Amino acid sequence: MLNTRFRPGLALVCLVILLTGCASGTYSKTFKRPAVKPGSYVQLHHEYQVPNEFARVYFRNGKQTLKGNIDRFTPYCYISMKDIGQAGQPQQVIFPDRFYVTKVIESNDLQGGRRTYVASLGILHFDDGPSNVNYQLEMRLSSSEQPGVRALTCIKNADDYFDHRYPNLSEIKTALGDLVTIEAPEQ
């Protein structure tokens, strides 16, 4: 049994250890905004087929790819349509065009949290939280020739506490390659 005269000191040491463990080190919550702003233009240089029953065309490392081939730990982008293509109908096509960026929306999406239910009660559970955060930059697009094209969205995965930011212009260009060009707004 502990001597009673050491208990207050032990409680103080435990409190100091607890508070020190919760203190943040060099973490900085600085968000760097990408260079894409409303008034910019998005130039598509090629024609893209949108698979039936889908509304998106994905890009990664300068190539068009399927959603299943996306590596979530490298920046990627997709062009989305306003409507989902219906089975039995002709595929939707996105033609080369110059789109005006009407709005830019920055958002994030938590991914990968796992829950373990205790004794199948469904009441008590352990939640390990999100394993990563996707930082999304959605550029709403407008073209009188192709009103069905909705947006170009680029995503960067922040898988650690020191990389919380939206995709920058360099990462967006890497994801799109020469398939799509982003032009800054005219001054």
| Tens-digit pLDDT profile for residues 19-76 | 555 544 444 445 555 568 899 999 999 999 998 888 999 999 999 998 888 887 889 9
The reported pLDDT for the residue numbered 11 is: 60
Query: What pTM was estimated for this model as a whole?
Result: 0.72
Give me the residue label for tokens 């959605």.
138
pLDDT of residue 26: 43
Q: Which of 178, 166, 146 is nearest to 45 (CA)?
A: 178
